[in-house]
Structure 1
Amino acid sequence: MATLNVPKETMSRKDPEKFFTIVEKLGEGSYGSVFKAINIGTGIVVAIKKVSVDNDLEDMEKEISFMKQCKSPYIVTYYASFRKENEVWIVMEHCGAGSVCDAMKITDKTLSEDQIAVVSRDVLQGLAYLHSVRKIHRDIKAGNILMNHKGESKLADFGVSGQLSDTMAKRQTVIGTPFWMAPEVIQEIGYDYKADIWSYGITCIEMAESKPPLFNVHPMRVIFMIPNPSRPPPKLTEPEKWSPEFNDFLAKCLTRKPELRPSAEELLKHPFITKAKSHSLLVPLIDEQDIIINEKGREVALGIEQRDEEEEEEDEDSEDSDDNRGTMVRAKPRSMQNSGEDNDEEYDTGTMVITDNKNSYDTVVFNNDEDSGTMKLKNTMPSNKKNFVPDYMNQFKKSTGGGEDDVTTVSLSDKYSSYSLEELKKMLAELEIEREKEVQKTLEKFSINRQALLAVIDEKKSK
């Protein structure tokens, strides 16, 4: 392969447009949009992530540093980075078949068990490498597994990745996507590379059923439900339709206690993986995806074009009102028919309790244990005292329509009945993207307020 024509320095101030020609938009990853581009002079096809400097520059530098250090055929290769006006361009290996998530979305198909085994073998090789060099991915999901046209898979999108230092063996920050988060990550009790194994178990269910478990549940409830020790670990909706090996593989990945959860190296020896077949099993899915993309164009097939236009309109509207975010409707996906997943009356994670009774947000009670960080919501505050409601709980109420009643899925069948099937699919895809954004906003508010509260508690304890 020819050597790429790029500057050697990191965050080069040279004009990237003198080195690359943008071809098309491929999608959206953590922190920015990704484009297909051609290196001028060599003709080599690459992927370029453009990130607005409005985002945290320190996070981008971490991602670049992380990618530069990774040398594995199972990890997307980093080539170069540029600083152009208010953007940072990160140049990396182009995986022509896109993400596993995109392939499922475009073809409207899930993966077969044999296909999942092939992807799993590559992903576990990638995780085994990362963990061997003391790195955690922290955002494993189908959208961050990229494929080439041979059917080979690589880990990508290291926007939230972290490194385990010798002095801090376990991280204590909540970063990632809640549906895929391990219980110990949500609880902020410290976690290590085993968190990636849990996330990959959830990803396997996502590949099998198109959505992760609890996807039909409000994201804030998911944060409380996942760590609840009384809830059984996630599993396939219809486990009897899958092999004992696959069910056992998932059970091992989704072991609640991280110390009992196997490592990537150990899982590579599992029968589900050792029996995995050739990469060519994924080629028919990739070919079908390519046919659809050639007919419609990638942006149309993924609904990116229409979404960009709507986001521009939304940005204009948001100048008038910060709270004008529209109404989120969570329809139950065809593959997510888990009975009773969103009907629990109480979610007790050991860290926080939310009941579905009216006025259940009234009181926040902080335990005085040495480990701190425990918080419960109860209706025990005397009526003559002003009730304290943290900001993230207000966000929770706003995102569900502003009221205090049960979070419900609103039926709007009359409104949507006049749309065609294709239009409805596009609308659903756009809604899910919006959901992801709202989840990230809520998580940020949750983490900021929680840390502030814990700091005040520690200060008062020390007096």
Structure 2
Amino acid sequence: STVDVRCRCFGSTFVARIVMSAPGEASEPAACAAPQEWPTTADGYEKLRLIGRGAFAEVWKARVVDAGEGDFVAIKIINLENMPSSSGFDEILQEVQTMQMCNHENVLGLHTSFINGDELWLVTRLMDKGSLMHVMRIAKHMGLGEGMREAILEYVLREVLKGMKYFHDQGYIHRDIKAGNILVDGEGHVRVADFGVSGWLIDKGFRKPGTTTFVGTPCWMAPEVMEQEGGYDSKADIWSFGITALELAKGHAPYAKYPPMTVLL
């Protein structure tokens, strides 16, 4: 059975959905929503509000035109004409492929994707509270302090671990676990997102011992990723998860105030 616990955090109300089990009884994972057909043309969506902007992409809250009033989605619109190099295309391809393969309640999957002119549209579930980093910034601006309360922190970290376990079991490494890449909605659902620098530990059906690519965000990087000597595997995500736990508890990651090069040195 499940119990919904309503929590007040940073001026917003979240519903933490906790799975309850009898002693000795294993908890069954909550079922994912049944798949549905999503429009694959731009006129199938009504863009409502810009919720994020980067150098080459925008994220919009949108409504599915032929659906009910409450069927909202997020659409990441990537301008392919302005991509600086082939490496940018590689990251996009990596993100799309990874999201298409993911089907777990704690990982942000992809509803559909399509080309619209010189744009790539990625349609996903709407996580209307944004990233945990965004939530903490708003809280600080409102004078509500830094860091999460222990009960909420425990719930969030448990949900992130579920998503990471699924990700690792599929043979992936995320390589950029941090508060900015963890999304939450008003019902308390927590999902790991942003797979542009994720990597595979599966090659032609066989698990590879590790990888050596230098990617991630310095403050959250594991030592073996920085050292570039013996390679690394999914354990590097566990280090980043630990740094993220400190970030959520304190309101900032250790050394986050220092320039990236200082952290690396």
**Do the two structures share a fold, i.e. TM-score over 0.5?**
yes
Determine helix, strand or coil for the equivalent of 1:82.
strand
Partner of residue 210 from structure 1, selected from 241, 251, 254: 251
What is the distance in 2 between the residues matched to 1:117 and 1:80?
32
| Secondary structure at the counterpart of residue 211 of structure 1 | coil
Aligned to 2:12: none
| Secondary structure in 1 matching 2:111 | strand
Give the equivalent residue in structure 2 for 1:46: 73
Q: TM-score, normalised by structure 1?
A: 0.45
1:132 equivalent to 2:157? Answer: no
> Residue in 2 aligned with 1:164?
201
1:194 lines up with 2:235 in the alignment:
yes
Aligned residue runs from structure 1 range 178-193, under 5 A: 178-189=218-229, 190-193=231-234
- Distance of 2:210 and 2:177 partners within structure 1: 18
The structure richer in strand per residue is: 2
Counterpart Cα distance in 2 of 1:177 and 1:31:
19
Corresponding residue for residue 39 of structure 2:
6
Structure number with bigger Rg: 1
Count of aligned positions:
216
What CA distance in whole angstroms lies between the structure 2 residues aligned with 1:171 and 1:45? 38
Deviation at 1:74, TM superposition (A): 0.8
Following superposition, the deviation at residue 27 of structure 1 comes to 2.2
The residue number in structure 1 matching 2:133 is 101
SS in 2 for 1:98: coil
| In structure 2, C-alpha distance between the alignment counterparts of 1:192 and 1:2, rounded to whole Å | 32
Amino acid of the structure 2 residue aligned with 1:68 = Q
Unpaired segments of 5 or more residues in structure 1? 8-15, 225-463
Match of residue 91, structure 1, among 102, 123, 129: 123
Q: Which of 1 and 2 has higher RCO (CA within 8 Å, sep 6+)?
A: 2
Match for residue 261 of structure 2 among 217, 220, 229:
220
Q: Shift in Å at residue 77 of structure 1?
A: 2.4
1:148 to 185, 189, 193: 185
Question: For the structure 1 residues 98 and 4, does the alpha-carbon distance in structure 2 shift closer, same or farther, using more than 3 Å as the test?
Answer: farther
Q: CA deviation at 1:75?
A: 0.7
Which residue number corresponds to residue 57 of structure 2?
32
Q: Is the 8 A contact 2:153 2:249 kept in 1?
A: yes
1:4 shift after superposition: 4.1
Q: Distance in 1 between matches of 2:97 and 2:259?
A: 35
In structure 2, runs of 5+ residues without a counterpart are 1-33
Instruction: Report if aligned partners of 1:5, 1:40 keep a CA contact under 8 Å in 2.
Output: no
Aligned-partner SS, 2:133: helix
1:69 alignment partner AA: M
User: How far is 1:5 from its partner?
Assistant: 3.3
The question of 1:122 aligning with 2:155 is answered no
Against the structure 1 CA distance between its residues 29 and 66, is the aligned structure 2 distance closer, same or farther, given a 3 Å change threshold?
farther
CA distance in 2, matches of 1:217, 1:57: 30
Residue matched to 2:16:
none
Cα distance change of structure 1 residues 2 and 81 upon mapping to structure 2, 3 Å threshold: closer
Aligned to 2:23: none
- The Cα RMSD (Å) is 1.9
**Distance change in 2, residues 1:122/1:29 (3 Å):** farther
Partner Cα separation in structure 2 for residue 29 and residue 207 of structure 1: 23
Question: Who is 1:177 aligned against?
Answer: 217
- Do 1:80 and 1:92's aligned partners in 2 also have CA atoms closer than 8 Å? yes
Rounded Cα–Cα distance in structure 1 between residues aligned with 2:38 and 2:232? 40
Pair 1:48–1:88, CA change in 2 (3 A): same
CA contact (8 A) 2:148 2:249 kept: yes
CA contact (8 A) 1:30 1:159 kept: no
Aligned residue in 2 for 1:22 = 47
**C-alpha deviation, 1:223, in angstroms:** 0.9
Distance 1:131 1:138 in 2: 11
- Matched-pair identity in %: 36
Given that 1:76 and 1:155 are in contact with CA atoms closer than 8 Å, whether structure 2 keeps it comes out as yes
Shift of 1:133: 0.8
Please name the residue that 2:3 is paired with: none
SS at match of 2:63: strand
Q: Which has the higher helix share?
A: 1
Contact 2:42/2:116 (<8 A) preserved: no
Contact residue 67 and residue 78 of structure 1 kept, 8 A: yes
Provide the rounded CA distance (Å) in 1 between the counterparts of 2:49 and 2:103.
27
Q: Which residue of 1 aligns with 2:113?
A: 81
Taking a change above 3 Å as real, the CA distance of residues 30 and 93 of structure 1, as seen in their structure-2 partners, is farther
